[in-house]
Structure 1
Amino acid sequence: MDPDYALFVRIVEAGSLSAAARALNISPAMASKRLARLEARLGVRLIQRTTRRLAPTDAGERFHADVAAILRAVAAAEARAAGVRDEPAGVLRVSAPTSFGRLHIAPRLHDFLRAAPRVELELNLTDAPVDLIAERVDVAVRIAAEIAPGLVAHRLGSNRRLLCAAPAYLAEYGAPHALRDLATHRLLAADGQWPWRLERGRRRQAVDARSHVRTNSSEIVRELALAGVGIALRSLWDVGDALAEGRLVPVLPDWTGPSALAIHAVHPRAPTVPAAVTAFIAFLRDACATAPWNRD
């Protein structure tokens, strides 16, 4: 394979031409010359140069995704041919929802890092949608009923959701006895989480409203519910402990979130899956397998 391809991948992943040059033991001037030669041969600008950082253009993003996958496949093929054990190694970029990552990934990361010492982990927690290809994410945790065709999904567990509130809130405002009663209550949800979709047996019902407190953070919604501000629709993995301790209590327990929702680990579809990705998904499965909230 053209060595300029490996140089280009290094530049994109380092965000710096000089850092890529150091990694390949060449001068920055030589790296710049080879990048210009590659762009001239392809007839397209791959890297947008700024005063502080290099960033791939749209064409560069697509080219990087293709070339990086090819390089990983070649490395894996060489290792298999040489009889080398495919050990997890290299940079591993992981994305997960904020609350899930803080509660169920971060506390156990030491186990993964100890088992895979050659992995350089980058963990990004966000509730915003993440484009795995554009943002070069290797593994993401997704809570969804369906997964996009370009991704491979590994089910980690159920995602049971229920309405809940603090005892103090119910003592002050009373408990709703039917879904229609929610219209007179203070409801809590993060931006983008309306409408609530609820089900009871075969019945389906959407509840649309405005959050009593507007926020872009699902974690803030949880804290507001615990503080007695209103009623929230929360996942058991998020509020299971609070329910068990009585700090939150179920509201209209016959109505729950859609049963089709599940927690998945996903990665881009590729001919060869890096060992670090496989190892991290196994770690996630272990972390979720015995959790109380994951009991169907």
Structure 2
Amino acid sequence: MFLPDVRTFLAVASAGSLSAAARQLNVVPMQVSRRIAALEEDLGVRLFHRTTRALTLTAEGEVFVAYARAMVDAEAAARAELSPSSGTASGVLRITAPSGFGQSVVLPMLPELLNANPDLRIDLDLSDRQVDIVGQGLDLALRIAPLEDSELVARKIAPNPRLICASPEYLKRYGRPATAAELDQHRCIKLDSVGRWPLVVDGKLIRRRIEGYITTSSVEAARTAAAQGLGLAMLSYWDVFRQLADDSLVRVQLDDAAMEELSVWAVIPSRRYVPNRVKVFLGALQKHLSDLAEKGDQRCRDQTPASRAPE
């Protein structure tokens, strides 16, 4: 399999037409067509449906996209490993992250990252759904929820415990719950994805049924509603660390229950051929989280352990 043919295939799949891919690759459309034909002959399958008006991937072409990206990434990783390098990252880094974490942590770190790596581009998907990173051809997924068994490679980036929080105005008006049972007397803001609140009682994780005064699918909406005094919310530390620091939200601790300990995880497709852009991003993320923890006041630092470097 000829690697330039594979790169041409990815360009066509991304651009959606032979002519657009040719302009991107700075070649004539006929050369693009010949490379695609050669690749299809080599693989023994059709990769594109071609009509006079459109060009779309076949089912086999959609499957091949992930493999093609892996081959191109492997070549880039080999060149970076074997050639002198300034240590900067290049290419397109494809990431998916939870919306709340992406808004509060990932986006603010991008200006410094991109300034230090001018040849790097970011394709960022902010979504609370579990994305198939292999099928979607992604380099990296940042995840907060407990990880399911998977053949993917997961690296712990930093602790991210759940916590119950509310605005000072809400607590002044309705009081502060002292026990898990007293949660039933309060207005609670629920996330669709967390139907029951996980609490650790006597060392065991239980899931307590909570009546939602407000229910939402959005972490940002739950955080905003809590800051507006509409109720108690259970979110993770990195979702609300800025609000804890400026006192728009206050942590509520229960006497008879602790919160579930979560972490920020980096999930990658494989340990082999990890692109330099992924390594550079994870190093920058770890430093960013560490800097944020250092800038917080002592109360906020006490609410989460210091970040650790990726393993």
Which TM class, normalised by the smaller chain length?
Answer: 0.7 to 0.9
The one-letter amino acid paired with 2:174 is Y
Q: Does the 8 A contact of 1:189 with 1:218 survive in 2?
A: no
Work out the number of aligned pairs and report it: 294
Q: For residue 205 of structure 1, what is the aligned residue in structure 2? A: 206
* CA offsets 1:34-87 (integer angstroms, 9 cap, x no match): 435544554444335689875544432321212221232234435555x34265
Q: For residue 243 of structure 1, what is the aligned residue in structure 2? A: 244
Q: For residue 276 of structure 1, what is the aligned residue in structure 2? A: 277
Shift of 1:286: 0.7
Describe the SS at the equivalent of 2:234. strand
The one-letter amino acid paired with 1:61 is E
Calculate the TM-score normalised by the size of structure 1: 0.85
Separation in 2, partners of 1:234, 1:247? 14
Shift of 1:191: 1.8
Range with bigger deviation, 122-131 or 108-117: 122-131
Q: Does the 8 A contact of 2:179 with 2:254 survive in 1?
A: no
Separation in 2, partners of 1:134, 1:51? 28
Change (3 A) 1:270 1:23: farther
Q: Does the 8 A contact of 1:200 with 1:256 survive in 2?
A: yes
Separation in 1, partners of 2:51, 2:228? 47
Q: Does the 8 A contact of 1:156 with 1:289 survive in 2?
A: no
Describe the SS at the equivalent of 1:122. strand
Are 1:295 and 2:305 counterparts? yes
Change (3 A) 1:79 1:280: closer
Q: For residue 93 of structure 1, what is the aligned residue in structure 2? A: 94
Range with bigger deviation, 237-246 or 45-54: 45-54
Describe the SS at the equivalent of 2:129. coil
Calculate the TM-score normalised by the size of structure 2: 0.82
Superposed, which structure 2 residues align to 1:1-296 within 5 Å? 1-2=1-2, 3-32=4-33, 34-36=35-37, 38-39=39-40, 42-47=43-48, 55-78=56-79, 80=81, 83-85=83-85, 87-146=88-147, 148-254=149-255, 255-259=257-261, 261-269=262-270, 271-292=272-293, 294-295=304-305
Separation in 2, partners of 1:210, 1:12? 47
Separation in 2, partners of 1:59, 1:71? 18
Describe the SS at the equivalent of 2:89. coil
Shift of 1:23: 2.9
Separation in 1, partners of 2:204, 2:273? 43
Q: Does the 8 A contact of 2:219 with 2:239 survive in 1?
A: no
Change (3 A) 1:214 1:34: same
Separation in 2, partners of 1:170, 1:79? 55
Describe the SS at the equivalent of 1:153. strand
Return 5+ residue gaps in structure 1 as ranges. none
Change (3 A) 1:55 1:97: farther
Q: Does the 8 A contact of 2:88 with 2:280 survive in 1?
A: no
Shift of 1:33: 5.0
Shift of 1:280: 0.7
* CA offsets 1:198-247 (integer angstroms, 9 cap, x no match): 11451322122353223221100000011111111022222234334443
Q: Does the 8 A contact of 1:140 with 1:265 survive in 2?
A: yes
Separation in 1, partners of 2:49, 2:210? 44
Separation in 2, partners of 1:140, 1:183? 36
The one-letter amino acid paired with 1:12 is A
The one-letter amino acid paired with 1:105 is V
The one-letter amino acid paired with 2:206 is Q
